[in-house]
């Protein structure tokens, strides 16, 4: 059975994509189609803020892209040296809050220690932060995307915990998305399951998928990587057959397997 994953492939250097591998263990043939394109912004401003850890109480990351922005900053030799010789140690005295394993592993790559990775979504991370931070302490620095949800900032504001957001990337539709989807459906047919990984993915892909599936769309089991994406799918009128218990390849693959084989459970 075929599964269409609407996400970017993992870095080629780090082996096979874990979602494809995990779905393969259930004899599901998965294909990735990149949905989003990212344009990084305000990188000078980002490094300027990272250069003054004494002004902040810690860091917050809810997206791997925010870490990519930092990695782009650190490609410059002088900035990389400043980071490794001094800044990294100064930030490591403070907490680095993250959502999910993918973001946590990128935090580790730049030499920081992630906290709260098991939160799974912004709401739970906000609760975790509130349980550890005191009101009116130094602001937490929050590099984020232009389409960030307001859940985390709102919860922290209500609790009196200062948060300084900085937009470091814009999200747009991948230039080859429409062509990739048309090619997949013409060559592979209609998949047994389609997985959305973000509300932006729902926005950019849904109409194309509805058009390409035609009357057979009711046969497709739609899955979400987490509750935020599931809400976006429901709002767009898609029946959600499965939401991963946590945003990991293991939970997603198990959920899809259950959705496709309900009588075996």
Domain definitions of the chain by residue range: 2-35+176-260, 39-171
Average pLDDT score over residue span 194-204: 95
Asked whether the domain spanning 39-171 has the same topology as the one spanning 2-35+176-260, the reply is yes
Q: Which of 8-17, 32-41, 58-67, 89-98 has the lowest mean pLDDT?
A: 8-17
In SS3 terms, the chain reads as CEEEEECCCCCHHHCCCHHHHHHHCCCCEEEECCCEEEEECCHHHHHHHHCCHHHCCEEEECCHHHHHHHHHHCCCHHHHHHHHHHHHHHHHCCCEEECCHHHHHHHHHCCCCEECHHHCCHHHHHHHHHHHCCCCCCCEEEEEECCCCCHHHHHHHHCCCCEEEEEEEEEEECCCHHHHHHHHHHHHCCCCEEEECCHHHHHHHHHHHHHHHHHHHHHCEEEECCHHHHHHHHHCCCCEEEECCCCCHHHHHHHHHHHHCHHHC
pLDDT, position 150: 87
Q: How confident is the model at residue 16 (pLDDT cuts 50, 70, 90)?
A: confident
* Architecture of domain 2-35+176-260 in this structure: 3-Layer(aba) Sandwich (3.40)
**The pLDDT of residue 226 is above 80:** yes
Mean pLDDT of all residues in the chain?
Answer: 93
Work out the percent of the chain whose per-residue pLDDT is above 90: 85
List the structure tokens of 197: 């990984």
pLDDT, position 121: 82
Contact 39, 177 (CB under 8 A): no
Give the CA-trace dihedral at 217, 223, 227, 228, to 10 degrees. -60
**The pLDDT of residue 177 is above 70:** yes
Residue 260: Cβ within 10 Å count: 18
d(CA 48, CA 55): 11
Q: How confident is the model at residue 12 (pLDDT cuts 50, 70, 90)?
A: low
Total-model pTM:
0.75
**The pLDDT of residue 263 is above 80:** no
pLDDT, position 5: 97
pLDDT, position 51: 98
d(CA 99, CA 61): 7
Average pLDDT score over residue span 179-187: 98
Q: Which of 5-14, 69-78, 224-233 has the lowest mean pLDDT?
A: 5-14
Average pLDDT score over residue span 84-109: 95
Q: Which of 11-15, 68-72, 195-199 has the lowest mean pLDDT?
A: 11-15
**The pLDDT of residue 13 is above 60:** no
Class of domain 39-171: alpha beta
Average pLDDT score over residue span 135-148: 92
């Amino acid at each position: 059975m075929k599964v269409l994953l609407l996400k970017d492939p993992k870095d080629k250097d780090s082996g096979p994509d874990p979602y494809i591998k995990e779905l393969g263990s259930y004899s599901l043939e998965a294909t990735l189609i990149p949905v989003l394109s990212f344009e990084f912004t305000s990188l000078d401003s980002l490094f300027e803020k990272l250069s003054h850890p004494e002004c902040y109480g810690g860091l917050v990351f809810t997206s791997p892209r925010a870490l990519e922005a930092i990695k782009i900053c650190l490609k410059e030799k002088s900035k990389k040296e400043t980071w490794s010789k001094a800044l990294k140690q100064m930030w490591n005295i403070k907490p680095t809050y993250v959502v999910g394993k993918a973001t946590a592993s990128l935090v580790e790559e730049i030499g920081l220690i992630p906290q709260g990775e098991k939160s799974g979504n912004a709401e739970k991370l906000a609760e975790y932060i509130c349980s550890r931070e005191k009101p009116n302490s130094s602001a937490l620095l929050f590099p984020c995307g232009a389409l960030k949800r307001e859940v985390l900032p709102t919860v922290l504001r209500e609790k009196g915990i200062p948060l300084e957001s900085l937009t470091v990337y814009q999200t747009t539709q991948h230039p080859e998305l429409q062509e990739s989807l048309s090619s997949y459906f013409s060559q592979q047919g209609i998949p047994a399951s389609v997985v959305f990984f973000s509300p932006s993915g729902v926005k950019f892909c849904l109409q194309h998928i509805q058009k390409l599936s035609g009357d057979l769309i009711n046969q497709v089991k739609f899955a979400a990587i987490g509750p935020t994406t599931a809400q976006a799918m429901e709002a767009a009128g898609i029946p959600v057959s499965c939401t991963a218990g946590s945003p990991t390849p293991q939970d997603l693959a198990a959920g899809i397997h259950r959705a496709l084989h309900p009588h075996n459970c």
